[in-house]
């Protein structure tokens, strides 16, 4: 048995047969000189190839399955823009005239130069953009050379696809009836392929580094999309364990589905609110049907990441309006642009070189230093607020000064809307995202400028424990059960409750049912998670008493190590007393 560790990108547990997919290589590129009299002929070949591809994209966009999925629709539209990009066409035409080489070699050289430049930049987002350009060049060259490759759309049996990477063009062709899970060497939780997998409900583990060199077609794989684990040809013990987990998940799912419509309250009557984290509105209706009470975290940066540039006010207004309409009056918490760090928007961070981007120009720091972008976003949110119930969340707030600045910009944005007679809601709540220790330590002051707090446990763990979650050498230290994290959460909740204001957790911890009794005991008001976790968290809440959970939290806060807390969490609630 071989165990691989990667990035958990799309939830779910799957056991199945592997298909090693290595059809992403470029065809052999011919290179030869042409005469000036042949330039028009080569240029027409290029235009014909791009037209053939863009026509197919438009046909896909017209299909009902794509129209019902905003994620896949947006990615197809982004690809259409790439193939029709005027600057790209001009560069190809100029190189064709200057170099007098066949069109295939010109396309390869222009695209490869751009890919090489982007690949050298210190950002996962730039590397993903490079992968998109590589994919575009590959599709264009295959069309020019009439090369046919195996497509994931042609699968006829259920498999787990293992690959170096899966290009967006292939990911868009996936059928969840046949692609049961994906495992890739490259990728991140924000890549187009990951977004597509999540929208289809296909479990995914990306960033395994060497999966494609160790997995062979026909191998039996276990893919744990919750923990980012892949087991190649698992031993009997591991296989038995995961079969049991999958069976238990099915049982829990059936049990939890019976709770739809019932109150989310402990056995002694303490009520909690369950919300979902969302990037797009397409899955929100389904989440509401199974008990979501709103959107606790709307990651607005995905609008920017999809476009690769600063999104216009109109595009943002329409995106926020869609989400609010889909929420049908339930509250939607829109997090303002969380760019920078590991979420680079190419056109906004071009030429920016930071040694420590996670500690650098990102999130609210970026927004406050770019009033043009920040004000555009705030105006779009304000205008959309007439379509529902909006809460605005400012990310990575480190102290009261940043919160005051952000609120100042919001007031200025309101004035801008007033000047244009653009209506907006006068009951918008604003909150600070608690992701760095300094914010938790001054929570008593910060809450006076906030209507609510939302704790981002992913970054809180990273910054408190000094652990790069993406570094496989140290990510074992990223322990949300560490006593330091629990004490910061407790400090934050107590400060907010003293002022009569609510606190939610929107990091991965909120969707981990194992943590639910502990978060209840610490005094949390709201949980916000991926929709797939709603059932299980609700079941756990309904099976425990608030009094017992408080006792658990008291014990956990006195623990000296993460190991001690983990032991408490793994015991049954009755065994802890």
Question: Pick the catalytic residue: 387, 482, 506, 549?
Answer: 506
Reported as a single tens digit per residue, the pLDDT across 419-445 is 999 999 999 999 999 999 999 999 999
pLDDT, tens only, 233-287: 999 999 999 999 888 877 766 766 677 778 899 999 999 999 998 877 877 888 8
Q: Does residue 39 have a pLDDT over 80? A: yes
Judge whether 201 and 176 are in contact, CB under 8 Å: yes
pLDDT higher than 80, residue 556: yes
Question: Which of 137 and 274 is assigned the larger pLDDT?
Answer: 274
Q: At residue 469, does pLDDT exceed 60?
A: yes
Higher-pLDDT residue of 448, 156: 448
Q: Which of 62-66, 283-287, 416-420 has the highest mean pLDDT?
A: 416-420
Q: In the chain, which segments carry CATH 1.10.274.10?
A: 36-144
Backbone CA torsion sign across 348, 350, 352, 357: positive
How far is it, in rounded angstroms, from Cα 405 to Cα 371?
A: 11
Give me the residues paired with residue 431 across strands: 393, 452
* pLDDT score recorded for residue 229: 93
Tell me how far the alpha carbon of residue 19 is from its chain's centroid: 25
**Mean pLDDT to the nearest integer, 14-30:** 80
Q: What one-character DSSP code corresponds to residue 322?
A: H
Residues 6+ apart with CB under 8 A from 249: 13
482 in catalytic set: no
Q: According to the model, what pLDDT value does residue 148 have?
A: 63
Residue spans in the chain of domains classed CATH 3.20.20.60 = 265-576
Q: Which residue has the higher pLDDT, 23 or 384?
A: 384
Please state, rounded to an integer, the average pLDDT across all residues of the chain.
Answer: 86
Q: In what order do the strands lie in the sheet with 159-163?
A: 2-5, 229-232, 220-224, 13-21, 159-163, 179-184, 204-206, 7-10
pLDDT digits (tens, 9 = 90+) for 192-232: 677 778 777 789 999 898 888 899 889 999 999 888 899 99
Let me know if 506 is a catalytic residue.
yes
**Phi and psi at residue 456, to the nearest 5°:** -95, 95
SS3 assignment, position 392: strand
Task: Give residue 412's pLDDT.
Answer: 97
Please tell me the class of the 2-23+150-234 domain. Answer: alpha beta
Residues of the chain with CATH 3.50.30.10: 2-23+150-234
Of the candidates 149, 192, 252, 559, the residue annotated as catalytic is 192
Could you tell me if 445 and 528 are in contact, meaning their C-beta atoms sit under 8 angstroms apart? Answer: no
* pLDDT tens digits along 139-181: 888 888 876 667 787 788 999 999 888 877 678 778 888 999 9
| N-term to C-term CA, the chain | 39
The pLDDT, as a whole number, for residue 64 is 75
Assigned CATH topology for domain 36-144: Enzyme I; Chain A, domain 2 (1.10.274)
Q: Which residue has 């961070």 as its token pair?
A: 349
CATH architecture of 265-576: Alpha-Beta Barrel (3.20)
Q: Which residue has the higher pLDDT, 541 or 260?
A: 541
Q: CA nearest 395: which of 448, 460, 487?
A: 460
CA distance 517 to 509: 12
């Amino acid at each position: 048995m071989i165990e691989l560790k990667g990035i958990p990108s799309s939830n779910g547990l799957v056991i199945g047969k592997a298909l090693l997919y290595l059809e992403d290589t470029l065809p052999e590129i011919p290179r030869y000189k042409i005469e000036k009299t042949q330039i028009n002929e080569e240029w027409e070949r290029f235009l014909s190839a791009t037209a053939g591809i863009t026509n197919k994209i438009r046909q896909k966009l017209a299909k009902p399955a794509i129209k019902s999925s905003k994620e896949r629709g947006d990615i197809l539209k982004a690809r259409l823009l790439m193939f029709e990009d005027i600057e790209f066409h001009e560069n190809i035409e100029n190189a064709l005239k200057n170099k007098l080489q066949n069109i295939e070699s010109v396309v390869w050289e222009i695209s490869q130069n751009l890919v090489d430049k982007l690949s050298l930049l210190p950002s996962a987002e730039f590397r993903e953009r490079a992968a998109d350009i590589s994919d575009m060049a590959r599709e264009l060259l295959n069309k020019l050379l009439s090369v046919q490759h195996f497509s994931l759309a042609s699968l006829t049996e259920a498999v787990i696809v293992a690959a170096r990477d899966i290009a967006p063009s292939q990911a868009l062709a996936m059928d969840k009836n046949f692609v049961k899970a994906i495992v890739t060497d490259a990728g991140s939780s924000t890549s187009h392929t990951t977004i597509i997998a999540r929208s289809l409900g296909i479990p995914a583990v990306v960033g395994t580094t060497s999966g494609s060199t160790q997995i062979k077609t026909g191998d039996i794989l276990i893919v744990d999309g919750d923990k980012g684990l892949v087991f190649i040809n698992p031993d009997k013990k591991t296989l038995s364990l995961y079969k049991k987990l999958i069976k238990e998940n099915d049982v829990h799912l059936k049990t939890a589905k019976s709770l739809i419509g019932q109150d989310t309250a402990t056995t002694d009557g303490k009520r909690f609110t369950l919300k979902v984290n969302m990037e797009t509105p397409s899955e929100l209706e389904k989440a509401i049907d199974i008990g979501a009470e709103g959107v606790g975290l709307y990651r607005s940066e995905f609008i920017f990441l999809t476009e690769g540039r600063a999104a216009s006010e109109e595009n943002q207004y329409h995106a926020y309006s869609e989400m609010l309409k889909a929420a049908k009056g339930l509250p939607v918490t829109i997090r303002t642009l969380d760019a920078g760090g590991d979420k680079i928007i190419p056109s906004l961070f071009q030429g920016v070189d930071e040694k420590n981007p996670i500690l650098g120009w990102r999130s609210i720091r970026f927004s406050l230093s770019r009033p043009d972008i920040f004000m555009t976003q705030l105006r779009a949110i304000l205008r959309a607020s007439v379509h529902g119930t909006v809460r605005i969340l400012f990310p990575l707030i480190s102290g009261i000064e940043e919160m005051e600045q952000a609120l100042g910009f919001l007031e200025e944005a309101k004035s801008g809307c007033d000047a244009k007679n653009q209506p907006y809601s006068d009951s918008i709540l604003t909150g600070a995202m608690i992701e760095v220790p300094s914010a938790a330590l001054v929570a008593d002051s910060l809450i006076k400028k906030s209507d609510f707090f939302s704790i981002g446990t992913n970054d809180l763990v990273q910054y408190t424990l000094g652990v790069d979650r993406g570094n496989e050498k140290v990510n074992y230290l990223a322990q949300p059960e560490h006593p330091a994290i629990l004490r910061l959460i407790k400090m934050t909740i107590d400060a907010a409750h003293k002022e009569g204001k609510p606190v939610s957790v929107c990091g991965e911890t909120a969707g981990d049912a194992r943590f639910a009794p502990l978060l209840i005991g610490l005094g949390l008001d709201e949980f916000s998670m991926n929709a797939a976790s709603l059932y299980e968290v609700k079941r756990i809440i309904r099976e425990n008493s608030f009094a017992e959970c408080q006792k658990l939290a008291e014990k956990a806060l006195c623990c000296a190590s993460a190991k001690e807390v983990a032991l408490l969490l793994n015991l049954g609630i009755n065994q802890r007393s």
